[in-house]
Amino acid sequence: MKIRKLALGLIVGALALTAACGREGAPPAAGGDGGPAGADAQLTYEVATDVTLTGSPTFDRMKQAGKVVIGIREDQPGLGFKDATTGARSGFDVEIARMVAAGLGYGDDKIEYKAVPSAAREDTISRGDIDFMVGTYTINDNRKQRVSFAGPYFVAGQGLLVRKDETEITGKDTLKGKKVCSVTGSTPIQRVREQGLTEPENIVEFQTYSQCVDQLLSRQVDAVTTDDAILKGYAAQAPDDLKVVGEAFSVEPYGIGLAKDDAVLRGKINDLLQAAMDDGTWQKIYDATLGKSGSAAEPPAIERY
Ligand code: GLU
């Protein structure tokens, strides 16, 4: 009896979730909604055995610990998302992280995830609190002074998320006098400042994008700006309330951030990314996550530096 009640509860819950995320005429939720663990949302990767990486301090640390610690996001549907109820993780970044971990010899049971916000990434990596970061992390010269990047494994561009009934904000040059929310330590908030897209007092800053989205829904701000891939995930979860507008106005190549001097690990991760791009795994990951929204994408060229 108890079990039947529980099962019914789960079904009703699942239906509610499906209804909330897949309203008629709306694009399917990007990257799923973090379905139950073990559901088909998760791809499987062959876990490598006997991996040796001579001269990688990070890999030595992983071996010592018997696990890999990966910096990730938990509130970005389609990219890095953790279902609050089931604890299941889903999204493009999660799959890239799992694929790389498997290539290094670490299966799911040997991965420890740590949620790391935008502003903390360089510090967290250089302190050695994580082995590497897979979290919408734009490769740029400024960051390269403190960390190294494997990749890019995806290229996004800065966009705008507004309420469905918004008519005045249509692109980056229509933001003057509007309250614009973004995240501390991110490239998009820096761009809003540097390009003076809105007045300094109209820039609202949080640690995570989901806080910005809450502010948008409660009409405290007029727009959220960051990478279009992130914004599309939020729009897909609330298609009656939110929409992405305008053209992308930057290039954000996503890299896997790791310790600055660990060229051996960087080379190995680049090899794993390249192999996944060559053998169709990258495409499978894309199709199962970001590609669910219907847009096509091709893997970018790995930058070996
Ligand atoms: N890709 C941008 C960045 O690395 C924005 C996304 C984020 O904050 O993670 O700053």
Q: List, for residues 57-80, the tens digit of each pLDDT value.
A: 999 999 999 999 999 999 999 999
What SS3 string covers 28-92?
CCCCCCCCCCCCCCCCCCCCCCCCCCCCCHHHHHHHHHCCEEEEECCEECCCEEECCCCCCEECH
Token digits of residue 172: 């980056």
Phi-psi group of 25: left, alpha or beta (phi > 0 → left; psi -120 to 50 → alpha; rest → beta): left
Q: What is the CA radius of gyration of the chain?
A: 20
Taking residues 247-261, report their average pLDDT: 98
Closest ligand 1 atom to 136 CA: 9
Pocket test for ligand 1, best of 74, 124, 125, 136 (most atoms within 8 A of CB): 136
Q: Ligand 1 mean position to 228 CA, how many Å?
A: 11
CA of 245 to the centre of ligand 1 (A): 19
CA of 2 to the centre of ligand 1 (A): 45
**Across all residues in the chain, what is the average pLDDT?**
89
Instruction: Select from 79, 137, 213 the residue to mutate for testing ligand 1; criterion: most ligand atoms less than 8 Å from CB.
Output: 137
Distance 188 CA to ligand 1 centre (A): 7
Which atom in ligand 1 lies closest to the alpha carbon of residue 252? 1
The 10s digit of each residue's pLDDT in 95-114 is 999 999 999 999 999 999 99
Mean pLDDT of the region 195-215: 98
pLDDT at 19 over 60: no
Residue of minimum CA distance from atom 6 in ligand 1 = 136
Residues in the chain: 305
260-265 contact pairs (CB < 8 A, 24+): 260/126, 260/146, 260/147, 260/148, 261/57, 261/148, 262/56, 262/57, 262/58, 262/148, 263/148, 264/53, 264/54, 264/55, 264/56, 264/59, 265/53, 265/56, 265/58, 265/59, 265/132, 265/150
* Residues 277, 283, 289, 291, CA torsion sign: positive
pLDDT above 70 as % of the chain? 86
Identify the helix (H) or strand (E) that includes residue 215.
helix 209-217
Residue 295 binned pLDDT confidence (cut-offs 50, 70, 90): confident
Give residue 243's Cα distance to chain centre.
19
78 CA distance to ligand 1 middle (Å) = 15
User: Which residues belong to CATH 3.40.190.10 in the chain?
Assistant: 18-155+252-293, 158-245
Q: How many other CB atoms are found less than 10 A from the CB of residue 133?
A: 26
- Give the model confidence (pLDDT) of 206-231 as tens digits: 999 999 999 999 999 999 999 999 99
Dist. CA 58–CA 128, nearest whole Å: 8
Q: Which atom of ligand 1 is nearest to the CA of 188?
A: 5
Largest CA distance in the chain: 62
- Alpha-carbon 87 to chain mean position: 16
Report d(CA 61, CA 68) in Å as an integer.
9
Percent of the chain with pLDDT over 90: 84
Tell me how far the alpha carbon of residue 165 lies from the centroid of ligand 1, in angstroms. Answer: 27
147 pLDDT higher than 70: yes
Predicted confidence band of residue 42 (pLDDT cuts 50, 70, 90): low
Omega of the bond prior to 152 within 30 degrees of 0, cis? Answer: yes
Q: What is the C-alpha separation between 79 and 68, in angstroms, rounded? A: 20
Residue nearest to atom 10 of ligand 1 (CA): 186
**Pocket around ligand 1 at a 6 A CB cut-off:** 118, 135-138, 183, 186-188, 226-227, 252
CATH of domain 18-155+252-293: 3.40.190.10
Q: Atom 8 (ligand 1): residue with closest C-alpha? A: 186
pLDDT in tens, 120-136: 999 999 999 999 999 99
Average pLDDT of 137-161? 98
Whether residue 254 is predicted with pLDDT greater than 60 in this model: the reply is yes
Domain range 158-245, CATH class? alpha beta
Please tell me the predicted confidence (pLDDT) of residue 25.
Answer: 34
CA 83 to centroid of ligand 1, rounded, Å: 21
Helix/strand number for the chain, H first, E second: 10, 13
Nearest ligand 1 atom to alpha carbon 183? 8
DSSP category for residue 165: T
Q: Is the pLDDT of residue 170 over 50?
A: yes
| C-alpha of residue 297 to centroid of ligand 1, in Å | 19
| Rounded Cα–Cα distance for residues 49 and 103 (Å) | 9
Rounded to the nearest angstrom, the distance between the alpha carbon of 180 and the centre of ligand 1 is 16
